[in-house]
A and B are shown apart, each in its own frame.
Chain A
Amino acid sequence: MGISPIQYRPWKGERTALNLRVYVILKSIFRHGLKSTGVKILLILAFLFVYAFQFVSVLLFGHETLDAGEMSSNFNAFGLALFAILLTAVITSDLISEDLSSKSFVLYFSRAIKTRDYLVGKAGGAILIMSLLCFLPPVLLAVVSILTQSGSDYWSSIKVLGSTVVAGVFVTVFFVPYGLMLSSLTKRRSYAAVGTFMSFFVLTIISGAFSEFDSAWRVISPAESLSYAVDWIFGQSLPSYINEGALFAFLASFIIVPALVLYWRVQRQAVGK
């Protein structure tokens, strides 16, 4: 131990409340994500491809109010979904897989952290980054549109702003459980990232192939179903070939099933199975 070993010194500071510790995980993921060059590039590209034109047109061309149909179209859910899945693949792929490969679960769960807290922290961090793409720009677009409207019917515009907020939250959250689930199924970040994107791609291909025979198959394409859901949130009518029940069942299963699998996987890790 050397000539003069450093003695153990107790620590006398104060500890935060148990339920606040989830924010440490959330904050760490958010900061780590924003440091990534890949994430920054994706966010910039997505903004340029999905929203830049809409911002320019809102600013340049006059409009009386914020119209739901127009906002639904400006929301560009289909294009947004393509970038959202890419961003999900980049940010969620290592969130659980890295803990799996390093076996660092045990360091979390030997502390006052529940499985739920761990998942809320991880998902919360990812959702916060996703919101920079899926929530902030459309809401900002709606606000800019309201601020530059020529008409005085602000009440109807604010209602559309409300719908934009709901649609933004929905699109932000939509892919995260799926990405986290795939991350929890492998120890390799690359497998999780490719798996997330490829499963999206495969579902889109299957949907495209079968919709040649029956357009109702379009609902199994995540981008299309997301686009229909956004239209529905804005109060737009869905195409006649889309069964609302099937659409919402698909959307719900895309969120709920991965969330359940994710919880089960992490719970098993928590007890060391």
Chain B
Amino acid sequence: MSAAVDDVGQQTPVREPAHEDGPPGIGSYLFSARDLTVSFGPVIALDGFSVDIPRGIVGLLGPNGAGKSTFIKASLGLVTPKKGAIFVGGLDSRTQSLQIRDGVGYMPEHDCLVPSMNAVELVSYFGLISGMMTRDSMQRSHEVLDFVGVGEERYRQIKSYSTGMKQKVKLAQAIVHDPPLLFLDEPTSGMDPQGREEMLELVRMIGSSDKTVLVSSHILQEVELVCDYIVIISNGKLVQEGETKTLVAGEEGVQSLTIRGDEGSLTRFVRMLGEACEIMEAKEEGGKQMTLLIRGCRDGSRIFGLARDSGVQIRRYQPERLDLEEVFLRSFRGGGKDGN
């Protein structure tokens, strides 16, 4: 995948179609969006969005209003694209939306549970609507409620549940019919740390049973923990995508260097270092410490020599490793993982 800069100066990935020999969405990719444009009146929610999403646990990241929910709705055939198409498992969302929805479980972010029902009634009811027989849906609803960890409370009305329990019931209704594809929108929203950990463990367990799980979340550490693949979206466009381990690995040859010293020594060191290699980023930390991101300094002994000559201490010198938050922020600064 290469990158191009569009007319508003934003970097847009340019990619070759992944499925030239057959219908998109078949093979290792489950989702394929091609030049997808969705607008609501004058607001363009998705703007020529193209992406191939593989099977596994996939994180869908982006700020509010980025187009994540619209992408999910377009995948379900709930909104009609103005241009382009989405293929889910080889099915076209414009013409085969019911077949797509039949194989999807959706856990919305917001409250969506009927407060006057209890968990068993609600989960089995939506199991029936998903096409299960009465006996199967009742049995299965108990099974999935056991799985998500809702105990005897399942017989209480949902309006008496805590946020964490509601999240678990929302997950249970999404998996009751055992769909091959799951959309989880902010699955840990409003949960305490222990509840979050449990939810992430559930997502991991579901993902390990040959399901594709698309997790939309703002909590980047969580996404990094559970997702194999990340898609970052902003202003209706694809900003960044790739395997999690590749995205957070940082660019080869880029080093992170933390130095400490007085102001004059630091300035002198940075000037000399700038002559020896490329300084990609310099962050001052409290006046006496700096962290630099450098490229092109293959010889570490030279850096230590410069530090000795300038009178600064090297506190840390290691290959760059990003966390997902950094990847995310860099994407919005207009660059890829290399920060360009």
| A residues apposed to B, CB below 8 Å | 1-2, 5-18, 20-21, 24-25, 28, 98-99, 102-114, 270-273
Per the bound structure, the CA–CA distance linking A114 and B125 in Å amounts to 17
Which among A6, A20, A109, A111 is the interface contact of B146 at CB below 8 angstroms?
Answer: A6
B131 touches A21 (CB 8 A): yes
For residue A7, which residues in chain B have a CB less than 8 angstroms away from its CB?
147, 205, 209
Per the bound structure, the CA–CA distance linking A2 and B201 in Å amounts to 11
Per the bound structure, the CA–CA distance linking A109 and B77 in Å amounts to 10
Stretch at the interface among B9-17, B24-32, B100-108, B245-253: B100-108
Known contacts A1-B201, A8-B205: A24-B129 contact under CB 8 Å: yes
For residue A114, which residues in chain B have a CB less than 8 angstroms away from its CB?
98
Per the bound structure, the CA–CA distance linking A24 and B209 in Å amounts to 29
**25 pairs from A and B in contact (CB 8 Å cutoff):** A1-B198, A7-B147, A7-B205, A8-B147, A8-B205, A9-B147, A10-B210, A11-B140, A11-B143, A11-B177, A15-B131, A20-B131, A21-B129, A104-B113, A106-B106, A107-B108, A109-B101, A110-B101, A110-B105, A110-B183, A111-B130, A112-B99, A112-B101, A271-B78, A272-B69
For residue A14, which residues in chain B have a CB less than 8 angstroms away from its CB?
133
Known contacts A102-B112, A112-B98: A10-B133 contact under CB 8 Å: no
B198 touches A271 (CB 8 A): no
Contact with A along B174-214 (1 / 0, CB 8 A): 01111000010000000000000110011001101110000
Per the bound structure, the CA–CA distance linking A126 and B287 in Å amounts to 73
B136 at the interface (CB under 8 A from A): yes
B302 at the interface (CB under 8 A from A): no
B205 touches A102 (CB 8 A): no
Per the bound structure, the CA–CA distance linking A154 and B199 in Å amounts to 70
Interface hits, B114-153 → A, CB 8 Å? 114-116, 125-126, 128-133, 136, 140, 143, 146-147, 149
B173 at the interface (CB under 8 A from A): yes
Per the bound structure, the CA–CA distance linking A175 and B76 in Å amounts to 34
Known: A7-B147, A105-B112. 17 other contacts (CB 8 A): A2-B149, A6-B146, A8-B147, A8-B205, A11-B132, A13-B133, A15-B130, A15-B132, A21-B129, A24-B125, A98-B114, A102-B115, A107-B108, A107-B112, A108-B129, A111-B130, A270-B78
Per the bound structure, the CA–CA distance linking A32 and B106 in Å amounts to 26
For residue A16, which residues in chain B have a CB less than 8 angstroms away from its CB?
131-133
Per the bound structure, the CA–CA distance linking A142 and B136 in Å amounts to 43
For B140, the closest partner residue in chain A by CB is A11
Known contacts A108-B129, A111-B126, A271-B73: A15-B177 contact under CB 8 Å: yes
For B78, the closest partner residue in chain A by CB is A271
Per the bound structure, the CA–CA distance linking A102 and B198 in Å amounts to 25
B102 touches A18 (CB 8 A): yes
| B residues apposed to A, CB below 8 Å | 40, 69, 73, 76, 78-79, 98-99, 101-102, 104-106, 108, 110-116, 125-126, 128-133, 136, 140, 143, 146-147, 149, 173, 175-178, 183, 197-198, 201-202, 205-206, 208-210
- Greatest chain A CB density within 10 A among B99, B114, B131 is at B131
For residue B108, which residues in chain A have a CB less than 8 angstroms away from its CB?
103, 106-107, 110
Which among B102, B111, B183 is the interface contact of A111 at CB below 8 angstroms?
Answer: B102
Min CB gap B185→A, angstroms: 10
Which among A10, A102, A270 is the interface contact of B114 at CB below 8 angstroms?
Answer: A102
B98 touches A104 (CB 8 A): no
Per the bound structure, the CA–CA distance linking A13 and B140 in Å amounts to 10
Which among B111, B125, B149 is the interface contact of A103 at CB below 8 angstroms?
Answer: B111
Min CB gap A95→B, angstroms: 12
For residue B206, which residues in chain A have a CB less than 8 angstroms away from its CB?
8
A13 touches B132 (CB 8 A): yes
Known contacts A15-B131, A16-B133, A102-B113: A107-B102 contact under CB 8 Å: no
Known contacts A8-B205, A10-B178: A109-B129 contact under CB 8 Å: no
Per the bound structure, the CA–CA distance linking A103 and B113 in Å amounts to 7
Per the bound structure, the CA–CA distance linking A86 and B15 in Å amounts to 62
A107 touches B173 (CB 8 A): yes
For residue B146, which residues in chain A have a CB less than 8 angstroms away from its CB?
6
Per the bound structure, the CA–CA distance linking A105 and B106 in Å amounts to 12
Min CB gap A236→B, angstroms: 45
Known contacts A8-B206, A270-B78, A272-B78: A104-B112 contact under CB 8 Å: yes
- Greatest chain B CB density within 10 A among A5, A11, A108 is at A11
For residue B201, which residues in chain A have a CB less than 8 angstroms away from its CB?
1, 5
A272 touches B73 (CB 8 A): yes
Min CB gap B252→A, angstroms: 37
Per the bound structure, the CA–CA distance linking A113 and B125 in Å amounts to 14
For residue B209, which residues in chain A have a CB less than 8 angstroms away from its CB?
7-8, 10
Min CB gap B14→A, angstroms: 30
- Greatest chain A CB density within 10 A among B40, B99, B147 is at B147
B98 touches A28 (CB 8 A): no
A5 touches B205 (CB 8 A): yes
- Greatest chain A CB density within 10 A among B113, B129, B197, B209 is at B129
For residue B112, which residues in chain A have a CB less than 8 angstroms away from its CB?
102-107
For A12, the closest partner residue in chain B by CB is B178
For A94, the closest partner residue in chain B by CB is B116
For B205, the closest partner residue in chain A by CB is A8
For residue A11, which residues in chain B have a CB less than 8 angstroms away from its CB?
132, 136, 140, 143, 176-178
- Greatest chain B CB density within 10 A among A2, A21, A105, A270 is at A21
